[in-house]
Amino acid sequence: MIHADDIAFAGARRFRRIGEAHYRLTDELHGVELDADRLWRDRHELCGELSVYCGIQGAKTIDGCLSRGNFNFSSTQARDRHAGLLRGRARTGDALDWHGLLEELCIRIGNAEREGQPIRRLREYERPTTDDVYDVAGLTILKRHPQVFFGDGGTFKSYLGLYLAGLLAGQGVRVLYADWELSGEDHRDRLERLFGPDMPDGVWYHRCERPMIAEADSIRHRIDDLGIQFVLCDSVAFATNGPPESSEAAIDYFRAVRQFGEHIGTLHIAHVVKPKDDDTKTQSLRPFGSTFWHNSARSTWYVKRADDTADAGRITIGVYNQKANIGPLRPAVGLQIDFDADRTYVRRVDLADVADLAAGLPLWRRITGALKHGPHTITSLVDELNAKQDSIEKALKRGKDRIFTRITDAPDGVHRWALLERRVA
């Protein structure tokens, strides 16, 4: 049996699976194409949108399209009726077997849907490599999976997404910015502020008005037409078909995103669930709404802004990896953003040096930040880091002779700890 992912030839006819719930039958001899898309089941019958394109001279087409509408692929009566409609609009008489084309399309789709995706021995798949991620601004971005950036309003999330899109474009990646919040003019202004007049030209913009379940088809066509490799969606609150707290809304959203294709990476901007206690416990934070926003993404990152507002033209953010299904959790990244009249400048900073953001780091990283400024006693580390003594002692012990070293020859006889690299130097 020929699987739908393969190309099946019947004379000059070609049938293939374009993507999830999307098939196409082409009659190259007559210049006819039948495109079946957005398939769904209705009381055990297979339905979807059928578009028929025709290049026959004299056919009544609109931009090459002979007919488009919902179609019941399980109904033989529907095939009879539609064949007559197509024959009349194409003005082919009996020269072209429209009923035969529809019959072949419906049978092949039915076979493909019953067969499902081809199965393979798991060991035959290629192992993921470091090439399956992008490294941009110190952040690890997955090439083929959905990921979520979430945080409070005003934490530079959308700006950060555009910055990453521009850096990806600079690496030769074609990026689509699907936007539910602002406008193309707003993001164009931001892009030039971030990258100057020589801003990257590999970022496309798509203004969205409807929920993702309705926009996914349009986005997928743009992916195909432009060769898009990565899509940024801003933001899920506006793109959700229902309240974000609904598990069905979150599941439907990610199911729609799957229509983009299995080799397309996506980044989704979301807000944060307000913590019940101390928000420095970043490990417990999740995107706002149903737990499926966190569970359905393969990677999630929490974006937090430092409270220090001494300089109105500068903000500092920490980006913390909360979940990683593909590989280990990645180190948190600190970014300082400076705004002037015409430009926006972004540079890396060490989060251990930012009091408001250091608390979200693992304890060993906070200890490392403290020891950068010189040796400390355990007591002084307890005071500076506001951490429990036994936790600090355990972290130092685990990192001894790898990251930290103990100084036992202090003049006052009190043992101190230092960074191993500094002690060796």
* pLDDT digit string, tens, across residues 198-242: 999 999 999 999 999 999 989 998 999 999 999 999 999 999 999
**Which helix H or strand E contains 187, and what residues bound it?**
helix 184-195
Residue 296, pLDDT > 80, answer yes
Residue 122 lies in a domain: no
The answer to whether residues 332 and 373 belong to one domain is: no
Q: Determine the angle formed by the axes of helices 378-385 and 363-371, rounding to 10 degrees.
A: 110
Domain final residue, candidates 92, 115, 138: 115
297 and 215 share one domain: yes
Residue 341 has pLDDT above 70, yes or no: yes
Does residue 289 share a domain with residue 144?
yes
Q: Is the dihedral of CA 267, 268, 271, 275 positive or negative?
A: negative
| Greatest extent of the chain over all pairs of C-alpha atoms, in Å | 104
Please report the pLDDT score of residue 309 as a whole number: 63
pLDDT, position 282? 62
**Residues 60 and 105 reside in one and the same domain:** yes
Q: Degrees (nearest 5) of the Cα angle 187, 191, 192?
A: 120
Token pair for residue 262? 């299995």
- 123 in a domain, yes or no? no
Same domain, 295 and 418: no
Judge whether residue 320 has pLDDT over 90. yes
Query: Do 103 and 24 share a domain, yes or no?
Result: yes
Q: How long, in residues, is the chain?
A: 425
User: What confidence score (pLDDT) does residue 193 get?
Assistant: 97
Q: Both 111 and 158 in a single domain?
A: no
**pLDDT over 70 percentage in the chain:** 93
User: Does residue 1 lie within any of the structural domains?
Assistant: no
Q: Which domain holds residue 174?
A: 130-356
Identify the domain boundary among 356, 373, 402: 356
User: Would you say residue 128 has pLDDT above 80?
Assistant: no
- Tens-place pLDDT, residues 139-151: 999 999 999 999 9
Q: Would you tell me how many other CB atoms lie within 10 Å of the CB of residue 376?
A: 21
Q: How far lies 181's CA from each of 204, 207, 208, 237, 239, in Å?
A: 16, 9, 8, 10, 9
Q: State what percent of residues in the chain have pLDDT above 90.
A: 74
Residues 105-125, mean pLDDT to the nearest whole number: 89
398 belongs to a structural domain: yes
Band (pLDDT 50/70/90 cuts) for residue 7 is very low
Q: Are residues 229 and 100 in the same domain?
A: no
Name the domain count of the chain.
Answer: 3
| Domain containing residue 417: CATH number | 1.10.10.10
pTM for the model: 0.79
- 214 and 342 part of one domain: yes
Domain boundary among 45, 80, 115: 115
CA distance 199 to 92: 52
Q: Are residues 346 and 384 in the same domain?
A: no
User: What's the whole-number average pLDDT of the chain?
Assistant: 90
In this model, does residue 280 exceed pLDDT 60?
no
Give the residue among 173, 121, 223, 195 at the shortest CA–CA distance from 344: 195
Say if residue 11's pLDDT is above 80. no
pLDDT at position 198: 93
Same domain assignment for residues 337 and 266:
yes
Q: Quick one: pLDDT at residue 6?
A: 44
Collapsing DSSP to helix, strand or coil, 420 comes out as helix
**Which CATH number does the domain housing residue 348 bear?**
3.40.50.300
Residue 89 shares a structural domain with residue 237: no
